[in-house]
Amino acid sequence: MVTIDFLKQNNLILFEAISGSKSFGLATENSDTDIKGVFYLPKDLFYGLEYVPQVSNETNDIVYYEIGRFVELLLKNNPNILEILATPEDCILHKNPIMDTFRQEDFLSKLCKDTFGGYASTQIQKARGLNKKIVNPVEKERKGILDFCVILEDSNSIPAKDWLKEKSFLQENCGLVKMPNSKGLFALFYDEDKNYNGIYKNKDSNEVCLSSVPKNEKPEAYLFFNQDAYSAYCKGYQEYWDWVKKRNEDRYNTNQKHGKNYDSKNMMHTIRLLQSAVNIFKNNKIEIRVKNRDELLDIKAGNLDYDHLLILADKLTDELNVLANHSSLPDCPDKEKVEKNLIEIRKKLYG
């Protein structure tokens, strides 16, 4: 099994550097140390059946890319991988001279408009989604089918729970029969001795139960079950509590502290990414050490309004589109040239 220790013990690492906030010049006393790197596989593993494209630790803050995968992502103008080529010297921990053959000018292209801009757009969508989660927390106690049922009686609609309580009925003694040509509408019968199936089987049920009821029985009332609303609620409930389970508590508490109801660190990196893309098309090169540290840390601290940040992101996106349309960068990297270089590198490595 190829692990980080295996790569180091066998001197397979070609490049290793500190990445993330420390390489961007945005580190604070609480910042983690992220590591990115490039490796190559031993000859037998490379030519064998199980190619390993990347290796990482459990938290994914240390990631190494096999040189072929590294080149593949560079050709796609992947922002995270292009940024490796712009690593400041003071963040480089190890560099094999072979890595000098990878130059920014061989990879930067108009694809950056979509990769950087698209990634930023995705982050903004995530920020909006997170904004909804923060503003609209979901109660831990999960709602059930009865919360989405109403009883139709005498031209009125009554919450099913209230109706059952008023009648001193138990849901498990109810029997439902689906009404023809009507979505979610059921005739409701009640009898303690006829072993009806109840309105639902258990709290995790996704739909109501149907019962076999004699034709001459008279319904107590008619029940409407809003299954679409219930399904949407269940999906939202699951997504919310999955997010709670996985969220970074320090980051969440920071967001709660500044009270702006958005993931401020996420928005900081979104703005940084868009500014980096604009710089690519202005100067035909990528630079990752920021020159506006205070401004970006202000965003991280939650000192700017959410709507203001969305406006700023839109302006940067518009500027990026205009610059890209008039850029002298190629439409895409020269794949043949890059592939030729990769082949020469592998020949040297496996000499």
129: pLDDT strictly greater than 80: no
Write down the pLDDT at residue 122.
79
CB within 8 Å of 342: residues ≥ 6 apart: 67, 68, 71
Write down the pLDDT at residue 70.
98
Write down the pLDDT at residue 156.
83
* 132: Cα within 13 Å, side-chain hemisphere: 10
Give the whole-number percent of the chain exceeding pLDDT 70.
92
Nearest alpha carbon to residue 145 among 44, 227, 55: 227
The answer to whether the beta carbons of residues 173 and 220 sit under 8 Å apart is: no
In angstroms, the CA 271 to CA 82 distance is 17
Average pLDDT over every residue of 195-204? 91
Return the amino acid letter for 274.
L
Parallel/antiparallel/unpaired status of strands 156-159 and 149-153: antiparallel
Average pLDDT over every residue of 80-103? 96
Return the amino acid letter for 276.
S
Domain edges within the chain: 1-104+333-351, 148-228
**Considering the entire predicted model, what is its pTM?**
0.67
Average pLDDT over every residue of 45-59? 92
Nearest alpha carbon to residue 53 among 26, 22, 90, 78: 78
pLDDT in tens, 238-271: 888 887 777 655 445 444 454 455 678 888 989 9
Where do runs of H (alpha helix) occur along the chain?
4-9, 21-24, 43-47, 67-75, 79-85, 111-135, 160-167, 227-246, 249-258, 264-283, 293-300, 306-325, 335-350
Q: Give the mean pLDDT of the chain.
A: 90
